[in-house]
Chain A
């Protein structure tokens, strides 16, 4: 009975130590979760396929928006106007989504890193330029055209533009990490493949022929 206080003290000490161990394990578990991104699977980092796709596809889309806006203003063909309107608004809002991701990830919307460096697994395209983009000369020429000439040239350029975007989106479907990125990339693959077929039919019915794919 005389030793009981010593036993109590020891029990008390063991209890405290067990508590310290429990709290310590809890905290290190939390820290490890943060470090490994457990429960937070969609936070791509600088240099990831996800960030590269979001940036380059934004730039790619922005050119399509620009071309479509021009043609929506100037074309006199209701079908071409409607197509241009569809391309312009769809791609514009997709640019908003992709730039929103980058902001949510805490990453700059643009960087000075070379374009297409995120497609390192694709030796034909890595390091740019982006496939399917119209050249400044092609854009300048488009602005000088009107009527049927404008419609045909727009369809030719937009088909090539879509085909280039498809290659980028397919790569992102296969290689991006975040679900939200792969999902949008897949919708781009699906909708732009279908739209290429539509535009090819529209081009044929207007007496034009497709340019070589990018």
Chain B
């Protein structure tokens, strides 16, 4: 930028000393860059007006020689440098035109550091870092609500089998939170069950993306009411008492379980917000929670099989892994054929 300003200043014809050396530099580079353009310009000019051909051919023949005698640039040379400078000015953002129209001081002058440039660069960098940092922060905040990894004490497990069975299943966890399950899902449309419901049906609801809240029957009624208020009227959630539960309250979605001590624990809302119908733990997205028949007549938990893993008298592990047992009823049972996706 500064050199262009000096170049224009020297366009007055003075080409001595330092200020003369700079535009010559300019001219040399510009002329090599624009050589072809200049040549073709000259050629076309020569064709158009033979009378002016001599003037035009001077710069055209010049470029090969231009490096050596640059410092004593003739008038045509100065014009070329002027043209190059104005071309450059058109293609680059405008610099500081402070020396425009003024003759450069004859004696120069150790150039000061370009403090203006340094300050501008610093300001831009600081601003860029701040803006990017803020943008990243904002992006992180957005994702927090649906992120279960912040839930303290969350237990996770992956279940590969999602087979349907009409047999009892020996679940490893109490309450279970994934695995083989009954053909019919427990209604989970904000359903508050007054009695313990059958695990095999509840697990099917988890497969549809529902949250299942279970509580020990010992839980004070006030806390039961608090939970019921949370559940009632909400989509994809249900709650039921669970005799023998290891903690007062537990929450389940497919592959996720959390035990808490009280209905006032903030992790309950955190769990529901992050995991209900979360695509990461909904093996069957788009499936419904609606099952009015089950809501009206829930299948009660088998008294011996619930909350007592040491007595799996009612479960038959062979049945859960036998494909024949699981596929056969699916083909014939009506609810599966009409509603199960």
| Chain A residues engaging chain B, CB cutoff 8 angstroms | 1, 3-4, 6-7, 10-11, 13-14, 17-18, 20-21, 24-25, 27-28, 30-32, 34-35, 45-46, 58-59, 62, 65-66, 69-70, 73, 96, 99, 103, 106-112, 115, 139-140, 143
Q: List 21 A-B contacts (CB under 8 A).
A: A1-B18, A7-B3, A10-B111, A13-B117, A17-B117, A20-B125, A24-B124, A24-B125, A31-B128, A34-B139, A66-B288, A69-B290, A106-B143, A106-B146, A108-B145, A110-B235, A110-B276, A112-B272, A112-B273, A140-B296, A143-B292
Q: Which of B129-137, B303-311, B314-322 forms part of the interface with chain A?
A: B129-137
**Which residues of chain B are near A65, meaning CB under 8 Å?**
288, 290
Which single member of B134, B143, B279 contacts A31 (CB below 8 Å)?
Answer: B134
The B interface, classified by DSSP as helix, strand, loop or mixed, is helix
- In contact, B111 and A14 (Cβ under 8 angstroms): no
Q: Given A21-B121, A21-B124, A110-B236, check contact A13 B132 (CB 8 Å).
A: no
Query: B288 touches which one: A6, A24, A62, A99 (CB < 8 A)?
Result: A62
CB pair B114–A96 under 8 Å, yes or no, is no
Please give the distance in Å from B64's CB to the nearest CB on chain A. 24
Which 3 pairs across A and B sit closest by C-beta, in order of nearness?
Answer: A24-B124, A31-B131, A28-B128
Q: Which of B114, B131, B189, B296 contacts A14 (CB 8 A)?
A: B114
Q: How far is the CA of A4 from the CA of B292 in the complex (A)?
A: 90
B339 nearest CB neighbor, chain A only: A69
Distance in angstroms from A2 CB to nearest chain B CB is: 9
The reply to whether B273 and A106 contact each other, CB–CB distance below 8 Å, is no
Could you tell me if A28 and B108 are in contact, using CB atoms closer than 8 angstroms?
A: no
Inter-chain contact A112/B269, CB cutoff 8 Å = yes
Give the interface of B toward A (CB within 8 A): 1-3, 18, 21-22, 108, 110-111, 113-114, 117-118, 120-121, 124-125, 127-128, 131-132, 134-135, 138-139, 142-143, 145-146, 189, 209, 230, 233-236, 269, 272-274, 276-279, 286, 288, 290, 292, 296, 338-339
List of A residues within 8 angstroms of B209 by Cβ = 109
Question: In the complex the two chains form, what is the Cα distance from A30 to B129 in whole Å?
Answer: 11
Measured CB to CB, the nearest residue on chain A to B291 is A66
Contacts of A21 in B (CB 8 A): 117, 120-121, 124
Known: A3-B108, A31-B131. A24 touches B273 (CB 8 A): no
Distance in angstroms between the alpha carbons of A46 and B273 in the assembled complex:
12
With A96-B286, A107-B145, A110-B235 in contact, is A14–B2 under 8 Å at CB?
Answer: yes
Neighbouring B residues of A99 by C-beta, 8 Å: 277, 286
Q: Are B131 and A3 within 8 A (Cβ)?
A: no
Contact partners of B292 in chain A: CB under 8 A: 66, 70, 139, 143
CB-CB < 8 A to A1: which residues of B? 18, 21
The answer to whether B142 touches A45, judged by C-beta atoms less than 8 angstroms apart, is yes
User: Given the interface contacts A28-B124, A31-B135, does A6 sit within 8 Å of B272 by beta carbon?
Assistant: no
CB within 8 Å for A6 and B110 given contacts A1-B18, A28-B131: yes
How many angstroms between the C-alpha atoms of A103 and B278 in the bound complex?
Answer: 8
How far is the CB of B136 from the nearest CB of chain A, in Å?
Answer: 9
User: Would you call A24 and B111 a contact (CB within 8 A)?
Assistant: no
A contact residues around B134 at 8 Å (CB): 31, 35
Q: Which residue of A lies closest to B230 (CB)?
A: A112
Which residue on A lies nearest to B109, using beta carbons?
A3
For residue B22, which residues in chain A have a CB less than 8 angstroms away from its CB? 7
Residues of A within 8 A of B286 (CB): 96, 99
Are the CB atoms of B274 and A32 closer together than 8 Å?
no
A34 to B133, CA, bound (A): 11
Partner of A28, one of B3, B132, B235: B132
Cα of A10 to Cα of B278 in the assembled complex, Å = 59
Contact between B127 and A28 (Cβ–Cβ < 8 Å)? yes
B236 contact set on A, CB distance < 8 A: 109-110
